[in-house]
Chains A and B, each alone.
Chain A
């Protein structure tokens, strides 16, 4: 590896580690009354830190990390730097599931049995969003007849997104009370992350990162085109299914805990490529850390920018991520 590349990677790794540490610290001391270092020493404030801020801060990093990983895998899998991890239908599936659960009570009053409504409510928003995301991806895979053909998979993802989105709109038109909850889900929030969420997200990341890293070489081979990759002796069908599974589970876990946080999955791999272009082995690991750092920083900003009010973190990531991509387009058009 050239010396310059090695240096860039070291710098980026160091930067990501430092910003994550600073972000974690900031997450602990940032509250509705602004920045307070007293929170780290005061016994009364310690409860707030331990039970609310710490899991939220850790959970925000883990959610972002999962989205960063999913984004990097999706962009490698689709050979498209604009591929978003939500492309496979997970976002629309999760949104519809959440709307269905929220609307369950209203629907119960209009004909469906109380037992059914109760069951839907018991499943809970988190589980429903996770299952909805997975069902969305499974529908996409079914429509595309597997993961063999990239173009068909992308098209199927778009179709599933549109159709499930339309169904979701239909449900909210029948049960308008679900609209508020749907809005919160679509904007994305880290406000509900507790230790349970952090544990689930951490376990998910520990489960998904190793297989993704193990298949990094397959993503490298895909950069030369599908035909070339196929003649290199790769079991491309199986590799694709595993990678689609990684994207589906990572986005499913992330959206089930924090709603649809925009742009993190798209922007994290972009930023890594900009500062340390590399093969997929490093790119996947660094995009994971970059995603975590982006969402953690956004979460701290969302809590403090208009304190004691709080901004929806998804709005902030959309503004920052969208602004970054616009700047990127502008910078490239000047080259």
Chain B
């Protein structure tokens, strides 16, 4: 595991008296990993537990070689940024003010932002393409635009580990593709772990983890045939996975490696 990495060891989480994760052990190093699986598999629960938002009933989460509870809240915030599903947003903050909140782990509640902080905010806004409406209020934006702002807020933290819950929800196809490209780019320098329901997009990640009934069923590279077979099985054969042609690979921003997509299997 890299110095910046994240791992879980025998992670068990109970919600409302029911065990949702049954001893999940995973290592995440630099690269983009996406967690997939049917509804109720425990994907978001795993992500929330890795972010320190849920206390495991057993097992532990390690961030850069130290268990999560041993990090102070601010230190953890500087090393690990979390982006929620696009939930309800209150208040009157502008986009830029929201992205500035990403600097809180660095500044605390009382320090004024310096030039480094402004530069980090500018870069996050540029990377997510929010520049045109950075002075509009978050509540005035569409769901997709908000999603990009929330990602910019996570990026603004400058943390080496990014945990993203459904980052492509509410995005239209051009912005989904832009998001995939951004996550791939980020994967070169960051530990990026996302939960995705959209399987064609999930298959563009470097690595996939298939979660089912709170257990890891498969874990491997996006082009691993065995992983594809498990993925199809986990979704009861409701999809088929096909290799993208050269043209489609180029259109989806595919790099050198073979890329795959998932299609609904409508055959009886």
Contacts and interface: CB of A to CB of B under 8 A. Distances in A.
Interface in A222-258: 223-225, 227-228, 230-235, 239
Interface in B61-100: 72-78, 80-82, 84, 87-94, 97-98
A234 B88 CA distance: 20
Contact of A279 (B51, B97, B153): B97
A246 B57 CA distance: 35
Interface in A192-243: 214-215, 217-218, 220-221, 223-225, 227-228, 230-235, 239
B interface bracket (residues with beta carbon within 8 Å of A) = 35 or more
A231 to B, nearest CB: 4
Contacts of A191: none
B104 A232 contact: yes
Contacts of B98: 224
A239 B94 CA distance: 23
B52 interface: yes
B243 interface: no
B91 A227 contact: no
A283 interface: yes
A215 B104 CA distance: 12
Contact of B53 (A2, A81, A231): A231
Interface in B131-182: 135, 137-138, 150, 153, 157
Contact of B91 (A214, A223, A230): A223
A1 B75 CA distance: 29
B97 A220 contact: yes
A176 interface: no
Given A224-B98, A277-B137, A231 B51 contact: yes
A103 to B, nearest CB: 42
A1 B104 CA distance: 18
A278 interface: yes
Contacts of A81: 90
Nearest to B52: A231
Interface string B101-112: 110110011100
Nearest to B48: A227
A79 B82 contact: no
A79 B48 contact: no
A152 interface: no
B86 to A, nearest CB: 10
Contacts of A233: 72-78, 104-105, 108
Contacts of B87: 225
A80 to B, nearest CB: 8
Given A218-B109, A225-B88, A231-B53, A2 B101 contact: no
A254 B148 CA distance: 43
Given A227-B84, A231-B51, A277-B137, A220 B77 contact: no
A221 B101 contact: yes
A283 B76 contact: no
Contact of A221 (B80, B92, B104): B104
Given A230-B53, A231-B80, A232-B105, A224 B153 contact: yes
Given A214-B110, A223-B93, A278-B92, 14 more contacts: A1-B135, A5-B94, A220-B91, A220-B93, A224-B101, A225-B87, A228-B150, A228-B153, A233-B78, A233-B104, A233-B108, A234-B104, A273-B92, A280-B91
Interface of B: 48, 51-53, 72-78, 80-82, 84, 87-94, 97-98, 101-102, 104-105, 108-110, 135, 137-138, 150, 153, 157
Sorted from nearest, which 10 A-B pairs have the closest CB atoms?
A: A233-B77, A223-B91, A233-B105, A233-B74, A277-B92, A231-B82, A2-B135, A232-B104, A233-B73, A79-B90
16 contacts: A79-B90, A215-B109, A217-B104, A224-B89, A224-B98, A227-B82, A228-B84, A231-B53, A231-B76, A232-B101, A232-B102, A233-B72, A233-B78, A234-B73, A234-B104, A278-B92
Interface of A: 1-2, 5, 76, 79-81, 214-215, 217-218, 220-221, 223-225, 227-228, 230-235, 239, 273, 277-280, 283
